[in-house]
Amino acid sequence: MVRPRKLRLLRYHPNVSYFKPRGVPLRMLAEVVLLPDEWEAVKLCDADGLKQEEAARKMNISQPTLQRTLACARGKIAQALVEGKAIRIEEA
């Protein structure tokens, strides 16, 4: 039996739901989906400059869980940039 997923505290809700390469219609692009907890982890660590321990506390998760979430999000963002894909931010 799988352990239940711990509730994450998400405080930031972005105004936009897509980022895409300029000049290419969205319907012609493949997309990468960022989950709400991945978006929050990137915001706290990369945009706000918090250390992983502090960001994990704010999200009510462990530091190793935050690190895995952050690595997954950064991989998706890098894939979108390198391969010219749209990034869709899923709503919580």
Q: Which of 39, 41, 68, 65 is nearest to 55 (CA)?
A: 41
Percent of the chain with pLDDT over 90: 74
As a whole number of angstroms, the distance between CA 51 and CA 17 comes to 26
Helical H segments across 1-92, by residue range? 36-42, 52-59, 63-83
As a whole number of angstroms, the distance between CA 72 and CA 38 comes to 7
Q: What is the pTM of this model?
A: 0.83
Sheet holding 18-19, edge to edge: 18-19, 86-89, 31-34
4 pLDDT above the threshold of 80:
no
Q: Which domains does the chain have, with CATH numbers?
A: 34-89 (1.10.10)
Place of tokens 């660590």: 45
Place of tokens 């979430």: 69
Q: pLDDT tens digits, residue range 42-62? A: 999 999 999 999 999 999 999
